[in-house]
Amino acid sequence: MEIVSKIGDKAISFGIEPDRENEHLFFFVADGKRIRVEIIELKADSVTVSIDNRVRFFEIVREKGVIKEVTTAARVFPVEVKTPQQEQLERVLASYVGAQVKSVKKEIRSPMPGKILELFVRPGERVELGQVVAILEAMKMENEIASVLDGEVKEIRVAKGENVALDQVIIVFA
């Protein structure tokens, strides 16, 4: 999986390779280097990892389910994490700002079968395009489900812990 991250003003592109035998072990691959990372403890607001056998603790600040800031060793880093597809989509959408959109589906559907681990929005809440609204677990992987438009949540058709089918409606917009 390839990811584009912006830490402060620096954009970094890197790959993540999971270890097929240990779900807590993976490798960051960037600039020809392969860095071993093992998750020691993972909480909603922090993570302790071993990076090439050196233990590090990071505090995580989230806004509406999206990581916005990481603190380590008394240093605070503003963070923005995107897939290359999200980065490309934002560039394309920026080129169409102000253009008329004739037909937009006002719903979010499950991209795969799985289990809803978390819902970050409620009916009546406004969301932005690309904002993470839910976490879907599929094949032991957590997948972020992002809003497909700016708008107001009209209805949530699933509950936390519920299993969903491919293409099942998860959220409806007003």
**Domain membership flag for residue 45:** yes
Q: Which two tokens stand for residue 65?
A: 């389910």
Q: The tokens 């994490």 sit on which residue?
A: 81
122 lies in the same domain as 48: no
57 lies in the same domain as 108: no
Sheet bearing 126-127, strands edge to edge: 107-109, 169-173, 151-156, 126-127
Total domains in the fold of the chain: 2
Q: Which two tokens stand for residue 52?
A: 């090439």
Q: What is the pLDDT of residues 44-93, one digit of tens each?
A: 889 999 988 899 999 998 887 778 888 988 888 888 877 767 777 777 77
**Domain membership flag for residue 89:** no
Q: Is there a contact between 146 and 164 (Cβ–Cβ < 8 Å)?
A: no
Q: What is the CATH number of the domain that holds 138?
A: 2.40.50.100
**Domain membership flag for residue 14:** yes
**Domain membership flag for residue 99:** no
Closest to 12 in 3D by CA, of 26, 25, 2: 2
118 lies in the same domain as 76: no
Q: What is the pLDDT of residues 138-166, one digit of tens each?
A: 988 999 999 988 899 999 999 999 999 99
Which run of H or E residues covers position 87?
helix 84-95
Q: Diameter of the chain by CA atoms?
A: 54
Q: Which two tokens stand for residue 35?
A: 């860095």
7 lies in the same domain as 75: yes
**Domain membership flag for residue 92:** no
